[in-house]
Amino acid sequence: MSDAHESSAPPAPSASAPRSFWRGLAPWLALILCLAVPPFIWPQSWLLAYLAQTATMIVFALSYNLLLGETGLLSFGHAAFSGLGALVAAQVFNRVGVPLVLLPLVGGIGGALCGVLFGFISTRRAGTAFAMITLGLGELVAAAAWTLPDWFGGEAGVAIDRASGAPWGSWSFGPAREAYALIAGWCLLACVAMFALSRTPFMRVANAVRDNPVRAAAIGCYPRRIRCGVVVASAFFAGIAGTLALINVELVSTESVSMVRSGAVLIATVIGGTAVFFGPVAGAAVLTFFSVAVASVTRAWPFYLGLFFIMVVVISPDGLAGFAQRHSARVAAHGWRRCRAAYLWGMAAALLWTAAIVLTVQWAYAAQFGVDDGAALGGTGGMGALRWLRASPLGLGGAVLMLAALGGLPAHYAIRAQALLAARRSSASPATGDAR
């Protein structure tokens, strides 16, 4: 847990040129702006709750990426760390009365202690075996949370009153605004700490263990010890994330350790991309968007999320961050004028096909789960059209087919423009390109 002390390290890497310095700083500024500015513009409580969830998920996904991205360990039981850390924090807060400002640290230490125990068991094997062991451990904790008494307070969970602690200056943290400020502050602090951690020699060795454990062992580092250390560090930050969620909703329940949550953090991290530090941040934002914003509109959100996840895995296994990197490199190589056609046509095709899929899925969900759910699809404008579609499945089929066919046209142009770009690139330099 020495990484907690490194939180004062500067966020940007030592930059030689000012340009790359600003490029390294830009995501941080964007993150700070996204966390800090909206509450001043729209001070509604739902926005604060949404942003607090996003901030929590960001820390959670980044902690997960220490395992998946940096060390190549796929875990299916990451929620155990965050849930148990939050549980420790809740019990300590209720019994000892730690100031709320320091509570995430307590949760982190609780998570790290679980990490020591679980890491010792699970890191004997890497790869698929590690994934299955973490699955078993996650299920064990989830089942134990239901079964064992006075751990999780049964079905009700353990509640805290965040305003009951010692006030910090003039802040009691009772109002949502003050709690959100605390959560956002801790989120930034944890991000900086994890960024600093990812630049340490220890994490470089972890990267070596990920890429070639045999060679890493041959040069004298114990892969198992390294993996165990990473699990502990990751569990520490997961505990912080769990405690941030605890501060937000003032409750830790069996849901905090559930496999659903473990799956969610896996999905967020993979969607965002594991190879780039800020990938999981983007993935966390996407996941929270789906699970809160889309979920408020339609009950089909898990379907869309699953579809999006599969698309990301198939089309761009390095996630959104890898996708963005690849395409920004291409735009930089060709200039945006030449790429314009390909991207515009591609976007048109994607929009049309998305419309076709959404129409089909909404219709199916409305047919299965009742009329009220599909109604929110097109807002007020598309309502009449939607009602007509529901009345006639034939018309719906026709509309979907038409949309799909219309989408095929720009897709054709997009593929042609891509081929043109690839041809130009191969004539300019014999490097291999990825024309998709």
Partner 1 sequence: MQSFVINLLNGVSYGLLLFMLSAGLTLIFSMLGVLNFAHASFYMLGAYVGFSVAARAGFWSALVVAPLIVGLIGAALERWLLRRVRAHGHLAELLLTFGAAYLLGELVKLGWGLSALSATLPAVLDGPLFTVYGTAFARYRAFMMVVSLAMLCALYAVLCVSKAGLIVRAALTHASAVEALGHNVPRVFTGVFAAGTALAALAGVIGAPLFVIEPGMAESLGSIVFVVVVIGGLGSLGGALAASLLVGCVQTLAVASNLSLGEVLSMFDASLPAEWDALTLAQLAPLIPYLLLVAMLALRPRGLFGRRDDHV
Residues binding partner 1 (CB under 8 A): 72, 74, 121-122, 124-129, 131-133, 135-137, 139-140, 143-144, 146-150, 213-214, 217, 223-224, 259, 263, 266-267, 270, 300, 302-303, 305-307, 309-310, 313-314, 317, 364-365, 368-369
Q: Which residue, 22, 20, 17, 51, is CA-closest to 37?
A: 51
Cβ count within 10 A of residue 349:
20
**CA–CA distance, 19 with 45 (Å, rounded to integer):** 39
In the complex with partner 1, which residue's Cβ is closer, 139 or 250?
139
The least CB distance from residue 121 to partner 1, in Å, is 6
In the complex with partner 1, which residue's Cβ is closer, 368 or 426?
368
The least CB distance from residue 279 to partner 1, in Å, is 14
Distance set, CA 291 to CA 263, 302, 354 (Å): 13, 8, 18
**CA–CA distance, 38 with 50 (Å, rounded to integer):** 11
The least CB distance from residue 368 to partner 1, in Å, is 6
CA 385 to mean position of chain CA atoms: 35
**Which DSSP string corresponds to 372-427?**
HHHTTTTTTTTHHHHHHHHH-HHHHHHHHHHHHHHHHHHHHHHHHHHHHHHHHHHH
Task: Specify the length of the chain in residues.
Answer: 436
Measured at the CA of 299, the angle between CA 377 and CA 401, to 5 degrees, comes to: 50
In the complex with partner 1, which residue's Cβ is closer, 217 or 355?
217
Tokens of 271: 């969607």
The least CB distance from residue 89 to partner 1, in Å, is 23
The least CB distance from residue 233 to partner 1, in Å, is 20
In the complex with partner 1, which residue's Cβ is closer, 166 or 310?
310
The least CB distance from residue 411 to partner 1, in Å, is 18
In the complex with partner 1, which residue's Cβ is closer, 72 or 165?
72
Sign of the C-alpha dihedral, residues 143, 139, 87, 177? negative
In the complex with partner 1, which residue's Cβ is closer, 326 or 338?
326
